[in-house]
Amino acid sequence: MSSYNTLLNGHGQHEAPTAGPLYDSSNILNVSREGRLASIVAGSLIASTAIGSITKHPFRSLARLAVGGYLLYRGLSGNCPISAAIEQRTGRHTTAINIRSSMIINKPREEVYAFWRQLGNLPLFMRHLEQVDERDSIHSRWIARGPGGVGTVEWEAEIVKEEPGSLLGWRSIAGSQVATAGRVTFEDAANGGTAMKIMITYRPPAGYVGTSLAWLLNSAFERIVQEDIQRFKHFMETGAVVNEEKL
């Protein structure tokens, strides 16, 4: 079972669904910029040659037109259905960033849980999050930004498991640009504090190859998320945001 599904469920008893169509289908960018340019050039040449000889060699020209048209589609759209189909059939997916952290916060468990449960509070101390809008008690919309403010990605999420005061689990839903999930546990610690364990994972869509989502697998992005989590402790204990500009 993947770490993504295990993270969602805690103990892995039931496998959770993936992020949906954009995670599993081929309707995504999976061709590099260089590959797109090469496809456009080759497709244009093949198509123009086929059109010029269609009266002399109609069947051969139609076959070339099909190849040229496919290459043009591949280059203009950035999507290669053949590559995506092969990756789905072989079960190959991009690697994910899996972030695990734990800490002791010198605040009561109920207070710490209540603050985190208001998901709109997360961008106050998490620099990689630009915005979190709560639609209702279960659904929310997230926007994250990459290192140096380069690139953004957004997704709709839902709470999939909640034990008030003790556990909160969420995941991206169908139609999301990225598969992501999180799970946080809250336990009483000595001296009235709170012991937290946090797990967050990010995975670009299946078939992904070097698109604008590259920063999701960047070690710098992983480090930012780790620092954001640790910044939560400072925020809860002092009520102040670490004096750093958002990326």
Q: pLDDT digits over 154-164, tens only?
A: 888 999 999 99
Same domain, 75 and 124: no
Provide the edge-to-edge strand list for the sheet that holds 129-134.
97-105, 194-203, 179-188, 167-172, 152-163, 139-145, 129-134
In a domain, 67, yes or no: yes
Q: If we measure between CA atoms, which residue out of 178, 240, 168 comes closest to residue 215?
A: 178
Quote the pTM value. 0.60
Q: Are residues 79 and 104 in the same domain?
A: no
Above 80 in pLDDT, residue 176? no
DSSP type of residue 165: T
Are 229 and 116 in a shared domain? yes
Report residue 15 as tokens. Answer: 């496998």
Considering the domain architecture, whether residues 135 and 178 belong to the same structural domain is answered as yes
Averaged pLDDT for residues 136-142: 92
Given a contact cutoff of 8 angstroms between Cβ atoms, the answer to whether 168 and 188 are in contact is no
Question: For residue 118, what pLDDT is reported?
Answer: 93
What pLDDT is stored for residue 34 in this prediction?
67
Whether residue 54 is found in the same domain as residue 110: no
Number of H helices, E strands in the chain: 7, 7
Q: What does the block give as tokens for 18?
A: 């993936």
Whether 226 contacts 99, CB under 8 Å? yes
50 falls within a domain: yes
Same domain, 119 and 85: no
Tens of pLDDT along 189-241?
988 999 999 998 887 765 454 456 666 767 778 888 888 888 999 999 988 76
| Beta carbons within 8 Å of 153's beta carbon, 6+ residues apart | 143, 144, 146, 177, 178, 213, 216
Domain for residue 1, yes or no? no
Specify the pLDDT at position 82.
66
Q: Are residues 57 and 131 in the same domain?
A: no
What's the N-to-C CA distance of the chain in angstroms? 34
Whether residues 121 and 79 fall in one domain? no
User: Is 94's pLDDT higher than 50?
Assistant: yes
Q: 3-state class of 137 per DSSP?
A: coil
Question: 228 is in which domain, residue-wise?
Answer: 94-238
Residue 204 in tokens: 């670009």
Q: Are 230 and 51 in contact (CB under 8 A)?
A: no
pLDDT confidence of residue 75 = 79
What is the domain-level CATH number for residue 136? 3.30.530.20
203 phi and psi angles, rounded to 5 deg: -140, 125
Tell me how many domains the chain contains.
Answer: 2
Based on the domain organization, do 72 and 159 belong to the same domain?
Answer: no
Q: Is 136 inside a domain boundary?
A: yes
Report pLDDT for 214: 66
pLDDT at 11: 44
Same domain, 124 and 220: yes
Residues 134 and 163 in one domain: yes
Assigned domain for 2 exists: no
